[in-house]
Amino acid sequence: MTKDHPIHMSQQIDHPSIKEELFLKLQQDHSIFDPSSANTDKIRCCMCGRLLAKDQFSLEHIIPQQALKADLRAARTLVPTNTRAGLTLLCNTPLELKGRKYSEKGCNSWKGAKYDTNINKIINGVINKINHKNPIISLLSLCYLALFSKFGYRVAFTKAGIICRKQFFSPAKFQADLPDFSQLAFLGSSPLDITENNQAYWSSPFWFDEGQQQVGQYVE
């Protein structure tokens, strides 16, 4: 590792400033879709949709940290966990929807309790045949969060985004409005070594195809 290695520079981790930075970025984006919130110091949680203050959110590792332990040793050394996981903010305050109590610590804890174990097992090959609803819903939630981390609130307010958010709160049963014919394909394998040419595999964990310009069709 050299002093001017591009990944080396990203190892300077400071959790409060990362959260602050993410919140400010989301706040700017949020005010585009909800101008009335621009001066409130609040943003919507991208899952439950509640308008909350910064201290009611915590950092969310989109790919669970447990799942990253299987990454190449060299990648673990060079690329910080936060970068390999992909980060966003999820609420951490008691969550009750339509009279039902979901989680004492919000969507952050709900994802951890309902989905992270399965995501970890799938990424590490412990589950290699996905024929149950919960692993599929786990991956759907992961993909939604990856999209949100890349494209922001325009994803949360699309018709498809709203379905994903509703599905997040139903870990064992598909939502009625989930399309009958949907496909998720998980392919490929990790590179065998980390080089300047392939470092994006770890430093930019989510990749989106050219269809990305169609992601943000806002639904009133």
Residue 100 CB contacts under 8 Å (≥ 6 apart), including other chains = none
β-strands 51-53, 57-61: how paired?
unpaired
User: Is 122 near Zn ion (CB under 5 A)?
Assistant: no
89 makes contact with Zn ion (CB under 5 A): no
From residue 97, how far is each of 92, 102, 118, 158, 169 by CA, in Å? Answer: 14, 7, 24, 20, 10
Asked if 87 is part of the footprint of Zn ion (rule: CB under 5 A), the reply reads: no
Stretch that binds Zn ion, among 10-18, 74-82, 91-99, 140-148 (CB under 5 A): 91-99
Q: Pick out residues in 101-120 that bind Zn ion (CB under 5 A).
A: 106-107
Subset of 14-73 contacting Zn ion (CB under 5 A): 45, 47-48
Residues 123-182 that bind Zn ion (CB under 5 A): none
**Closest approach of Cβ 91 to Zn ion, in Å?**
3
The least CB distance from residue 46 to Zn ion, in Å, is: 8
Per the listing, tokens 């009750």 go with 96
In degrees, to the nearest 5, what angle opens at C-alpha 80 toward C-alphas 77 and 83?
140
Distance CA 172, CA 184 (A): 18
Chain residues that interact with Zn ion, rule: CB under 5 A:
45, 47-48, 91, 106-107
